[in-house]
Structure 1
């Protein structure tokens, strides 16, 4: 499993025009189960994505086409982890490994 943090590198007024394209990109990844969860950080300085384990090269390729990255308004940081304990109903997250 992978946690991806998104950090805005530009003011929100420069990020906002790319928000619809970024949302479309996220929705496509969710539809293909290449992304499990996505949301904004609080305060709004970026976002957090939960991604199933995949080869690092594949993840790098996916993140490189994020409209925020393509337009120079955000960067990503990646942390891989192994889910050991999960709440009831989320057992499938453990099988990602």
Structure 2
């Protein structure tokens, strides 16, 4: 009986130790994650001011062109639907 209690106590102590160790590893893994993340960010190459401006202008031009295309298609399909509605059947 006493041996069973000692074994149970030892299991409880081992579990507590394992829990503490897991918490410690989690904390360090989070720190390691951020350290590695910042290391990777340092490796990035950033755009120069001219490149950034040219890319931004290209995006704005593309958005405006696509807006005009969608507007023209909307007008065309709207007129087509209006023409179809004006046709009297029967």
Q: TM-score range by the shorter chain?
A: under 0.3
Kindly indicate whether structure 1 or structure 2 has the higher relative contact order, using CA contacts under 8 Å at least 6 residues apart: 1
Higher strand share: 1
Higher helix share: 2
Larger radius of gyration: 2
TM-score in terms of structure 1 length: 0.20
